[in-house]
Structure 1
Amino acid sequence: MNLKELARILGLSQTTVSRALNGYPEVNEATRLRVERAAQQHDYRPNTRAKGLATGRSMAIGHIIPISTKHEIVNPVFADFIAGAGEAYSRKSYDMLLSVVQDADEDRIYREFSAKGAVDGIIVHAPRAGDPRIKLLREIGLPFVVHGRASTEVDDYSWLDVNNRRAFERATNFLLDLGHRRIALINGLEVMDFAFRRREGYVRALTERGIAPDPALMRSDEMTETYGYNSVRTMLAMPDAPTAFLTSSIITAIGVRRAIEDLGMKMGRDISVITHDDELSYLRNGDDVPIFTATRSSVREAGRRAAEMLLRKIADPDLPFQHELMEAELTVGLSTGPVRKKG
């Protein structure tokens, strides 16, 4: 199946079919959907090289990962985001260019990508407050979407994020309603915007209920299983130990559960746990009944939506900046219960 044959089947000109598949804004939505359905039905695959020559685009999206955070590549959260983004790229015949670079070379690689026309746009991962990449990408004129937000950035930019502050405020209030007052936060690295916002939500919930946040009950580090395990072992040895834990990753929560069981206690009865669950494809939170009470938001869906946002901007550079704030759902599992009375 080639473009000419597909156009004949649809009763449209080759130009209209090509523009519909390439996301040109002058093609109305009904026609675009009709063309995309027909292309899928007849297994039409445009020649990427020819498409790039016709549009003046590279037909590729860049994902640049500094080597200091190369663990991102083996992190199932990152993998699921990339899987979701890849679905969106595939539908528009875009390739993905994933590059792991030395930290000192990151700025240079962005500039080279732009100068060589190697990619049509960039997804920015793991933003920090005042992230310098936002200013750089704006300066070199390369379209981009940020997965997350940079708190202190004053100029507008396109982003997609989870409402981390609200999610952790709700989770903390849920534990408070169960009678817990010593609630520990096992957070991600708080130089990252998402973790900073989660801490804000946790602190706000405690403060509004008249409870002074205790620094001894707060941890911030890379979200590994051993980090969760070691944090719980340390904090449960305290004289006034926490009765509940709020964690930023289901990976960390697995370590939390292991520590609780190693100490001869039962999660959900002796110690309550709430985690954030990115609904990972290969690390599910139980089947019919969730193992962990969790704030849930699909990172795969976030990847798909962020990619679609970027592709829309590439197709129509005059589009205003786009913002999407995904709400996390609080789901009750087996890991939480009323605070256990002492004695």
Structure 2
Amino acid sequence: MNLKQLSELLGLSQTTISRALNGYPEVNAQTRLRVLKAAQETGYRPNRAARRLATGKAGSIGLIMPIASEQSADIHFAEFQRGLADECLAHEFHFVIMPSQPDEEEQAIRGLVSSGSVDAYYLAYMRPRDSRIAMAKSLPTPFIVHGRSLGLAEDYPYVDVDNERAFREATELLLDLGHRRFALINGPADLDFAIRRQIGVEKALAARGLRLSPSAISNTLMTDASGYRQMETILRGEVRPTAVLCASTVLALGAVRAINQAGLVLGRDISLIAHDDDLMLLKPENFIVPLTTTGSSLRDAGRRIAERLITAVADPDADMPIAELWTAELVVRASTGPAPRTP
């Protein structure tokens, strides 16, 4: 089945069918449903090269992927990409990843946009005063930010989790349980989400007349091996904390291993709260001692970002919020308990 045959079958012009399949708003809902139903029943798949010639659209959204030798595989990125891919598949969009050196991202974005191979793209791994945002605003191609950038006016489209609030509320829970000695195992120090999480912890402590010692803060890659190493170091310190916050369940996996090897009981001798990105392969409730978490789905974030980009391509005048700030859910489980009376 080709476009001409589908046109004859439905008694519609080839242009109308193409526009219906690509979600153009000028095609009414009844016609769009009729075309989609016929395409599904006949097995019609549009020729992407022909569709691009007809519509001027590539049918693709993109990402610049910074690659550095010291980086390891990231389960969080994979989870986000799964949600993005689900939405792209539902709308027959392609997803284009262009690798680049970390210091060449802006040049790579300009190259991706000028190539015409994507209709829209998103920015990730945000940093304070991130110069990529100003550059993206200067280009004609739609974009959205996964996260935010401290120090810049929030006048750009984004989807983010309220990381500061999540870790402030987690710290307040531990304070209410009587904890006074804290440690934070955080993500890389130059990334916006990690900075905001530390701010949340520090604000909650400051409200109770406490502070987070610089020696109790560690910034690291989000892997279980890193979590293990950082927790080992913390436990060897002069003053052992009774409460630890981890930036991910992956870090917590290693941290819990170090706690167990030290002969400590999670939830009794030391309490731990982790941020849970709702990873399919690592559920906090399945730990031997189920983890208390601040939860937000990376897969849902990926799906939402793809939905907004595809809408921006198909209907540039659609009424969409510029900013979406999601609230993480605090779920209390057995890894948190009252502060022990002795260290």
TM beyond 0.5: yes
Q: Which moved more, 1:330-339 or 1:279-288?
A: 279-288
- One-letter identity of the residue aligned with 1:154: A
Q: CA deviation at 1:288?
A: 10
Q: CA deviation at 1:26?
A: 3.0
Answer yes or no: is 1:265 the counterpart of 2:257: no
Q: Which moved more, 1:261-270 or 1:32-41?
A: 32-41
Cα distance between partner residues in 2 of 1:235 and 1:86:
39
Answer yes or no: is 1:65 the counterpart of 2:65: yes
Instruction: Give the match for residue 301 of structure 2.
Output: 302
- One-letter identity of the residue aligned with 1:280: L
8 Å contact kept, 2:284–2:292: no
Cα distance between partner residues in 1 of 2:126 and 2:165:
19
- Residue 89 of structure 2: SS of its match in structure 1? helix
Per-residue deviation, residues 243-277 of structure 1 (Å, max 9, x unmatched)? 01000011110111011011011211211110001
Q: CA deviation at 1:6?
A: 6.3
Cα distance between partner residues in 2 of 1:6 and 1:68:
48
- One-letter identity of the residue aligned with 1:21: L
- Residue 335 of structure 2: SS of its match in structure 1? coil
Change in CA separation of 1:288 and 1:186 when aligned onto 2, cut-off 3 Å = closer
Root mean square deviation, CA, Å = 2.7
The gaps in structure 2 that reach 5 residues or longer are: none
8 Å contact kept, 1:52–1:58: yes
Q: CA deviation at 1:166?
A: 1.0
- One-letter identity of the residue aligned with 1:206: L
Percentage identity across aligned positions?
45
Cα distance between partner residues in 2 of 1:166 and 1:12:
53
- One-letter identity of the residue aligned with 2:51: K
Answer yes or no: is 1:158 the counterpart of 2:157: yes
Instruction: Give the match for residue 335 of structure 2.
Output: 335
Instruction: Give the match for residue 79 of structure 1.
Output: 78
User: Aligned pairs, how many?
Assistant: 342
TM-score (norm 2): 0.89
Q: CA deviation at 1:119?
A: 1.2
Q: CA deviation at 1:172?
A: 0.7
Per-residue deviation, residues 116-147 of structure 1 (Å, max 9, x unmatched)? 21211111111111111111222232211111
- One-letter identity of the residue aligned with 2:93: Y
Cα distance between partner residues in 1 of 2:32 and 2:322:
21
8 Å contact kept, 1:57–1:120: yes
Instruction: Give the match for residue 56 of structure 1.
Output: 56
- Residue 335 of structure 1: SS of its match in structure 2? coil
- Residue 227 of structure 2: SS of its match in structure 1? helix
Instruction: Give the match for residue 100 of structure 1.
Output: 99
8 Å contact kept, 1:157–1:321: no
Instruction: Give the match for residue 283 of structure 1.
Output: 282
Q: CA deviation at 1:29?
A: 5.8
Q: Which moved more, 1:312-321 or 1:11-20?
A: 11-20
TM-score (norm 1): 0.89
The gaps in structure 1 that reach 5 residues or longer are: none
Per-residue deviation, residues 159-191 of structure 1 (Å, max 9, x unmatched)? 111111111111111111111111211111131
Change in CA separation of 1:26 and 1:303 when aligned onto 2, cut-off 3 Å = same
Cα distance between partner residues in 2 of 1:209 and 1:289:
32
Change in CA separation of 1:324 and 1:30 when aligned onto 2, cut-off 3 Å = farther
- Residue 275 of structure 2: SS of its match in structure 1? strand
Change in CA separation of 1:103 and 1:230 when aligned onto 2, cut-off 3 Å = closer
Q: Which moved more, 1:124-133 or 1:210-219?
A: 210-219
Per-residue deviation, residues 288-331 of structure 1 (Å, max 9, x unmatched)? 99821111111011000011111111223345662211211111
